[in-house]
Amino acid sequence: MIGVAQIGCYIPEKKLSNLDLLEKFKTDEAFVRDKIGVVQRARKEKDEKASDLCIKAFENLLTKQNIRSEEIECCVVVTQNPDFNIPHTSAIVHGALDLPESCASFDISLGCSGYVYALSVVTAFMQANGMNRGLIFTADPYSDIVDENDKNTALIFGDAATVTLLDADAKLKPLGFDFGTKGSGFKNLISQDKLYMNGRAVFNFTASTIPDSIHKLLDKLKLNKEQVDKWYFHQGSKYIVDTITKRAGLDKEQVIFDMYEYGNTISSSIPLLLSKDILHFQKGQKIALSGFGVGLSWASAILEQS
């Protein structure tokens, strides 16, 4: 069984402060800190593309783990802000990292549920094809599409990228997943020229759907929530993570929250959190992940350290 071995991250050094925008948006520090949960947003350079962010995340991975390019059998990029629509960004990353020609590459188009989906899609794909080592990249640079005058989105999103090394020998393995889609609500989070988000609709969707998804998954795996040690939710906002925590009846101490210094980084939010803990799980420990947003879409997973 394929598991998560290590995670590399890239958060741009440049930060834009929400505290500078309090007057512009007629709001206050308590709101940006305690409701949104974002004090500053990480911001890539204008000409940096998704593939550039992926490559920087890979460079970070190399500082944590020795990897030979020729061992990589699978290269997947999760993005909805690709370099181009044609070709897929994973091909560009494949070329830049000089991965072997036998390496399978494709992009998955999903937003904030993308990382959790990709953990299932890519581990299953690798397993079915007898692959031992693969990479899942997440990179969704929303700074290219956010309208800086739109209060509903301008204070929230940050740029980042991650790369997760999947390995047949890794000890953190998925036990099971729950997926769902509410396609009838797709217009609530959409980018035509610029990003539009109906914040209230997305919030209501999440607050009702995610606690259900967690309980459904626990039931399926015959677990109760006390058997889960840590909860990693997509960092949509502090208010949504707090609301899920309350509605699902979780212990606040076990729910990870950390987006103050870089913002909501879409599919990168969960692996950014996980990267800090990845080497510290104890045998038998279980963790839960849950992503939700664009689609509307959600995905939850429980992983166990073996």
β-pair partners for 177: 301
Cα 137 to Cα 18, 194, 244, 259, distances in angstroms: 28, 24, 26, 19
Cβ pair 242, 289 in contact under 8 A: no
Interface with a second copy, residue 149, by CB under 8 A: no
In the complex, what is the shortest distance from the CB of residue 295 to a second copy, in angstroms, rounded to a whole number?
A: 4
What CA–CA distance (Å, rounded) separates 115 from 23?
Answer: 35
What CA–CA distance (Å, rounded) separates 112 from 211?
Answer: 16
DSSP string, 204-222: HHHHHHHHHHHHHHHHHTT
Nearest CB to a second copy, comparing residues 27 and 120: 120
Count the Cβ atoms, other than its own, within 10 Å of residue 286.
Answer: 16
Cβ pair 288, 300 in contact under 8 A: yes
Interface with a second copy, residue 115, by CB under 8 A: no
Interface with a second copy, residue 203, by CB under 8 A: no
What CA–CA distance (Å, rounded) separates 82 from 78?
Answer: 9
- The single residue among 66, 192, 222, 283 that binds a second copy, judged by CB under 8 A, is 192
Nearest CB to a second copy, comparing residues 20 and 183: 183
Nearest CB to a second copy, comparing residues 32 and 154: 154
In the complex, what is the shortest distance from the CB of residue 206 to a second copy, in angstroms, rounded to a whole number?
A: 14
Nearest CB to a second copy, comparing residues 63 and 184: 184
- The single residue among 6, 18, 123, 267 that binds a second copy, judged by CB under 8 A, is 123
Phi, psi (degrees; rounded to nearest 5) at 243: -65, -45
Phi, psi (degrees; rounded to nearest 5) at 268: -85, -10
Interface with a second copy, residue 222, by CB under 8 A: no
Mark the segment that binds a second copy (CB under 8 A) among 27-35, 88-96, 163-171, 228-236. 88-96
In the complex, what is the shortest distance from the CB of residue 270 to a second copy, in angstroms, rounded to a whole number?
A: 16
How many angstroms from the chain centroid is the CA of residue 256? 14
Interface with a second copy, residue 208, by CB under 8 A: no
- The single residue among 107, 159, 167, 304 that binds a second copy, judged by CB under 8 A, is 107
Q: Which residues bind a second copy (CB under 8 A)?
A: 75, 80-82, 84-96, 98-99, 101-111, 114, 117, 120-121, 123-125, 127-129, 145, 177, 179-186, 189-192, 195, 294-297, 299
